[in-house]
Amino acid sequence: MTDNAILVLTTGGTIDKNYFDALSEYQIADSGIPALLEEGRVALPFRVVELMRKDSLELTDADRAAIAAAAAVAPETRIVVTHGTDTMAQTARVLAASVPGKTIVLTGALTPARFAETDARFNLGMAFAAAQTAAPGAWIAMSGEIFDGCNVRKDRDAGRFVAA
């Protein structure tokens, strides 16, 4: 569609959780997003920047401001943000309010990308495409749907995203 690169900002979340035997627990690891894009045979130029490694329940206002700042200052106008699902809608609203003129698509996964069965690849593909075709604004790509970032919430019981 255009020849701009796509910027991918990673912030952590379930999509990047790994299991550490020595600790007997899961922790967010170095991002697996670059490997997923390679597996997806992505030839369109892109840049991956790891901003933080946080479960989204632990994100603070300062964290969201940092994500918005990174999106605003970048030369790219098409941005994908990988993020934990629990507070993704909140970050989407912050981005919609503070980063005009760019198409920003947030996504993540309900199951870590390192699992054999995971929604991670499908979701990342959705976000990468929506970043190229959706109008400027903040969007969420989850549960097979592209949502208006200001009109969506996570229904935890149902394990899916729905219009707010």
User: Whole-angstrom Cα distance, residue 102 to residue 104?
Assistant: 6
- Could you give phi then psi for residue 138, rounded to 5 degrees? -105, 135
Residue 100 touches its own copies, criterion: CB under 8 A: no
Residue count, binding to its own copies (CB under 8 A)? 59
Residue 78 touches its own copies, criterion: CB under 8 A: no
Residue 118 touches its own copies, criterion: CB under 8 A: yes
Residue 62 touches its own copies, criterion: CB under 8 A: no
User: Whole-angstrom Cα distance, residue 90 to residue 16?
Assistant: 20
Residue 30 touches its own copies, criterion: CB under 8 A: no
Residue 77 touches its own copies, criterion: CB under 8 A: no
CA distance readout (Å), 122 to 14, 73, 129: 15, 28, 11
- Note the residues at the interface with its own copies (CB under 8 A): 1, 14, 17, 19, 21-22, 24-26, 36-37, 39-44, 46, 55, 57, 85-86, 110-112, 114-119, 121-130, 132-134, 141-148, 156-162
